[in-house]
Amino acid sequence: MPLPSNMSMMPGKASAEADESEMTRWRGHQLSPTHAVLWTVILVATVGDILLTMTGITVGLQEGNVVVSAMLAEFGLAGLWLVKFGAMLWLVAGWRLLSERNATVFLALFAVVTLAVVVYNSVTILQYRGVITVVAVL
């Protein structure tokens, strides 16, 4: 049953038309060029993280993330994929629900953290294999 034009579907809205325009705005969340770059970095880094995690486990290293470690212990590699899939769902939800500016910050932070993990994993595997020697500078 349609609402009269002076009734709102949501508290604080002036009319059903205002509700509809708000939904259109939310659904119309555009992928800006900045977000496209950030998503590309995130997806490439996530693939790298998954491959490096699988490589590290294969060569005998232990997973450092307690959540991933528990999921690996319980479900094997499927646990790793479940954690990564959950993280991507969380990331998409955050990107869709946040303002343009906040979504950019959100994606950028995730990208930086994921790239840092990839670098750390790469260095750890290369060091474990004896390919490189890392000297701590104090």
Mean pLDDT of 87-105: 93
Mean pLDDT computed over every residue of the chain: 83
**Res 112: pLDDT:** 98
Q: Is residue 8 part of a domain?
A: no
Given a cut of 60, whether residue 23 has pLDDT beyond it is no
Residue 26, CA distances (Å) to 3, 9, 41, 90, 96 in order? 21, 16, 24, 17, 8
Per-residue pLDDT band at 7 (split at 50, 70, 90): very low
pTM above 0.85, yes or no: no
* Domain count of the fold of the chain: 1
Using one digit for the tens of pLDDT, what is the confidence trace for 30-81? 789 999 999 999 999 999 999 999 999 999 999 999 999 999 999 999 999 9
Do 118 and 111 meet the contact criterion of CB atoms below 8 Å apart? no
133 lies in a domain?
A: no
Residue 9: inside a domain: no
Domain limits for position 65:
16-128
pLDDT at 131: 87
